[in-house]
Amino acid sequence: MAVRAVKLDAVDLAGVRAALRRRVQLMTEGVLDRKVLVLINGKGGVGKSSLAVAIATALAKTGLRVLLVEMDEQGNQSEDLGIAGTELDDDGQAQAAAILDGKPLVPTGEARPNLWVVPGGSALDDVVEELYVQRRLTAPSEDPEERLAWMGMYAAAIGPVRDDYDVVVLDVAPGCEPLQLQALVAGEMVFIPSKSDPSSRKGLRTVARRFGRARAVNPMLRLLGVVVFGTNSAASRVQQKTKDQLTEDLGGAAPVMEQTIRHVEAAAVACRVHGKVPQELASAPELDPKLRSSMKALAGDYRSLALEVLQAKAELDHADALDHADANDG
């Protein structure tokens, strides 16, 4: 049977390569602040999207300007934030236009005070298809820059707007390697939620391998930490065992956060139904008193975790400053 060669049209990556070179230059000069936080796991169902929305909201409440980008075709964050069906929910179109058409990455709006959103959705199907095409087209190249530049398409899109925000949170789909590599190349800090089951820990190790690949393009990338999600707040021995297992999996590469996020199924359902995070429902009079109490406890978990994230970031910033000072002295 005859084989017909088909030319694959793809986005020109010249601008992406230039943006990555500029980014590495800024890293070398020590003037690129750590702003982009990637929430990621290799397995779904570990609370990643709920965590991304709750953490982004908690950071915004401290007065920080936060941009939340949902790199996921499912687009669940619109429900979590209560913006589904509104003008803020564009099904991923603004994000796709930035990656595929080179348009500026423009948020659809302010979902909460100080919290701007770039929703995901079905429009990202075309983005994922483009990423697979780019990976296939560039794989034969012997030039590392040519071969790896496709992983920096999101980094190039985020670069021009990053100074408009104090923190950029990327919530990336669990099963899509090309999107995960994009997020890891665009970010400076990686935060991983994980449960105690073997498949969640396997997902963490999958992310660790992708983390290593992304570091070839993004040497500034660091593991900020891992948070244990969906635990029984009263089972302190189980929590500690899970933390010990995750610490062993990480080989000391990043801390396991002291704060865990408890599992409250009724609270999770209520948050999705009301389109609000636990911090916003903790005092909601329409909730059953028992559920309101659980919601208040869950809100406390997220607030404490947000502070721990900021502390971990501050420690990375301090280490960066010391490294830059040593480099200048040398």
pLDDT in tens, 183-211: 999 999 998 888 777 777 777 778 888 88
Q: Give the relative orientation of helices 177-186 and 124-138 as an angle to the nearest 10 degrees.
A: 90
Name the nearest CA neighbour of 228 among 268, 189, 258, 199.
Answer: 258
- Backbone dihedral angles phi then psi of residue 119, each to the nearest 5 degrees: -70, 160
Strand partners, 24: none
325 pLDDT above the threshold of 70:
yes
Task: Give the pTM.
Answer: 0.91
- Tell me the per-residue pLDDT of 253-287, one tens digit each, with 9 for 90 and over: 667 888 989 888 898 889 989 999 999 999 999 99
pLDDT at 250: 58
Give Cα 111 to chain centroid, integer Å. 18
pLDDT at 5: 44
**161 contacts: CB under 8 Å, gap ≥ 6:** 67, 104, 105
45 pLDDT above the threshold of 80:
no
Is residue 31 within 8 Å of 132, Cβ to Cβ?
A: no
Structure tokens at 227: 């948070």
Q: Where are the beta strands (DSSP E) in the chain?
A: 36-39, 66-71, 109-112, 115-118, 167-172, 189-194, 222-231, 261-262
Strand partners, 12: none
Structure tokens at 303: 């607030």
For range 19-46, the mean pLDDT: 88
- Tell me the per-residue pLDDT of 2-31, one tens digit each, with 9 for 90 and over: 444 444 578 999 999 999 999 999 998 889
